[in-house]
């Protein structure tokens, strides 16, 4: 898709300029055929000429913006007026900057979902896609309301994870800081003291000191390898679609966390399907749209396969039952909907079930994760004691 700056004449005879997105020049010209606007000229422009600055915002800012917009749009205001009023309502300067940025994009002729692309890391594809469909169906207020609920639930899960991680992370940080202090300050002083007092022929202390330094370099090498592996995996996920698919597939099939990831993806899927089918969009189109906004690529590919099977005449419940990426609960409830002739309301039931399932699994995982992290930190601290601290005391005893 490309952007075009179009000069048009409106029904009042006034010449104005707007930014419009189209797949090509023919599609752009055709989009004005059945309107009252007359296209005078157009020129293709780059994203950088439309978007002057890309600033990312954290999830709390996005949640605040979403909740304010929900109230304003439900009161009958237009999207542009709601964003303009949001600038004056909010007391958070970052939310004000976000509103002003989106308002500039709207004034340049961009629809809201395109304006949200200016801050894609802040507004996920699910958010953008639902806003786009909400603009098409006239249900933007419902989109913001449901996205507000979705973001609040996501914030609650993040809060649980943060409460579990902070204590082990603090202990690990203190242990690593102590290890760096020993390596940077204590060990060199011990070496100087040993050189000053070691006048005999006993080489055991020298070998002990050498072993300590060797252990340090091995530990540093292991840390570098782990960091390089993590960085490489992130880069491969970004630039290799096959690697991203394989890693997402492995995530879905992990022994403990796989069920949690699968439940989250199913909750996102059912939320999008509930939103789209509730706006009057048929199941075929809703499946295609939802497959493009699911974050797990393996799950999204399975949705595309289900969509293809549905187009070939297969039953929706049977198609869902053929893929291990989906929990069996989905096929069961869709089969119930097919029996009653109303598949669309079933997605509300699926979303509610997996919302509770995510809360339940997250609570269980958090209870399990905390002792595991404390055990892991304890092992790291014990390893540091065995590698650095005990050998230093041994050297100190020889010097005395």
At residue 388 the predicted structure's pLDDT band, cuts being 50, 70 and 90, is: low
Query: What was the pLDDT predicted at 49?
Result: 47
Query: What was the pLDDT predicted at 228?
Result: 92
What is the CA 301 to chain-centroid distance, rounded?
18
Inter-residue contact 144 to 69 (CB < 8 Å)? yes
pLDDT above 50 for 268:
yes
Query: What was the pLDDT predicted at 396?
Result: 63
Distance (Å) of CA 355 to CA 82, 241, 249, 264: 30, 29, 22, 8
At residue 394 the predicted structure's pLDDT band, cuts being 50, 70 and 90, is: low
Q: Which H/E stretch holds residue 39? A: strand 38-45
From first CA to last CA, the distance across the chain in angstroms is: 77
What residues does 39 pair with on adjacent strands?
8
**H helices then E strands: how many in the chain?**
18, 3
- pLDDT tens digits along 299-327: 989 999 998 898 888 888 888 888 888 88
Query: What was the pLDDT predicted at 237?
Result: 84
In sequence order, what are the residues at sequence separation of 6 or more whose Cβ sits closer than 8 angstroms to the Cβ of residue 163? 366
Length of the chain in terms of residues written: 400
pLDDT above 60 for 191:
yes
pLDDT above 80 for 243:
yes
In 3D space, the residue among 191, 154, 187, 199 whose CA is nearest the CA of residue 60 turns out to be 154
Listed by start position, the domains of the chain span: 2-50, 59-123, 138-400
Across 120-124, 260-264, 381-385, least confident range: 381-385
Inter-residue contact 37 to 132 (CB < 8 Å)? no
Inter-residue contact 277 to 139 (CB < 8 Å)? no
Query: What was the pLDDT predicted at 53?
Result: 43
Distance (Å) of CA 198 to CA 162, 193, 313, 318, 389: 51, 8, 86, 80, 20
Could you say which of 1.20.81.30, 3.40.50.720, 3.20.20.70, 3.50.50.60 is the CATH number of the domain covering 138-400?
1.20.81.30
pLDDT above 60 for 52:
no
- pLDDT tens digits along 351-373: 888 888 887 877 777 777 778 77
pLDDT average, residue stretch 64-76: 89
Query: What was the pLDDT predicted at 51?
Result: 45
Top mean pLDDT of 27-36, 72-81, 279-288 is at: 72-81
Residue 328, Cβ neighbours under 10 Å: how many? 10
Say what percent of the chain tops pLDDT 90: 2
Enter the pTM of the model: 0.67
Q: Which H/E stretch holds residue 165? A: helix 140-181
Query: What was the pLDDT predicted at 48?
Result: 45
pLDDT above 80 for 77:
yes
In 3D space, the residue among 113, 117, 124, 130 whose CA is nearest the CA of residue 286 turns out to be 130
Across 66-80, 233-247, 364-378, least confident range: 364-378
CA distance 60 to 63: 5
Inter-residue contact 316 to 350 (CB < 8 Å)? no
Buried b (16+ CB within 10 A) or exposed e, 234-259: eeebeeeeebbbebbbebbeeeeeeb
pLDDT above 80 for 87:
yes
pLDDT above 70 for 193:
no
Query: What was the pLDDT predicted at 225?
Result: 92
């Amino acid at each position: 898709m490309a952007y075009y700056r179009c000069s048009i004449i409106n029904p009042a005879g006034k010449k104005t300029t707007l930014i419009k997105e189209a797949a090509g020049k023919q599609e752009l010209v055709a989009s004005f055929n059945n309107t009252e606007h007359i296209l005078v000229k157009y020129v293709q422009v780059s994203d950088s000429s439309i978007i002057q600055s890309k600033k990312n915002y954290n999830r709390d800012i996005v949640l605040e913006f979403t909740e304010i917009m929900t109230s304003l749009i439900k009161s009958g205001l237009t999207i542009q007026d709601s964003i303009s009023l949001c600038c004056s309502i909010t007391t958070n300067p970052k939310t004000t900057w976000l509103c002003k940025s989106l308002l500039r994009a709207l004034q340049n002729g961009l629809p809201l979902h395109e304006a949200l692309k200016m801050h894609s890391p802040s507004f996920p594809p699910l958010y953008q896609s639902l806003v786009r469909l909400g603009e098409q169906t006239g249900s933007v207020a419902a989109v913001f309301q449901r996205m507000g609920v979705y973001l609040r639930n996501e914030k609650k899960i993040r809060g649980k994870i943060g409460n579990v991680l902070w204590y082990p992370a603090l202990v690990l940080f203190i242990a690593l800081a102590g290890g760096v202090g020993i390596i940077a300050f204590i060990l060199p002083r011990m070496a100087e003291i040993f050189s000053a007092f070691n006048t005999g022929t006993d080489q055991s202390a020298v070998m002990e000191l050498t072993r300590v330094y060797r252990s340090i370099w091995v530990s540093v090498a292991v840390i570098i390898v782990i960091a390089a592996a993590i960085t490489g995996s992130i880069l491969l996920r970004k630039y290799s679609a096959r690697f991203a698919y394989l890693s997402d597939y492995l995530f879905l099939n992990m022994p403990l966390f796989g069920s949690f990831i699968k439940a989250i993806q199913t909750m996102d899927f059912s939320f999008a399907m509930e939103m789209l089918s509730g706006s009057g969009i048929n199941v075929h189109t809703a499946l295609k749209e939802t497959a493009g906004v699911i974050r797990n690529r393996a799950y999204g590919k399975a949705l595309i396969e289900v969509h293809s099977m549905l187009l070939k005449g297969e039953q929706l419940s049977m198609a869902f039952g053929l893929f291990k990426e989906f929990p069996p609960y989905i096929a069961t409830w869709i089969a119930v909907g097919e029996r009653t002739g109303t598949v669309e309301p079933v997605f509300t039931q699926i979303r509610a079930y997996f919302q509770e399932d995510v809360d339940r699994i997250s609570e269980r995982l958090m209870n399990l994760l905390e002792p595991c992290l404390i055990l892991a930190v304890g092992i790291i601290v014990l390893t540091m004691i065995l590698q650095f601290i005990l050998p230093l005391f041994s050297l100190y005893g020889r010097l005395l």
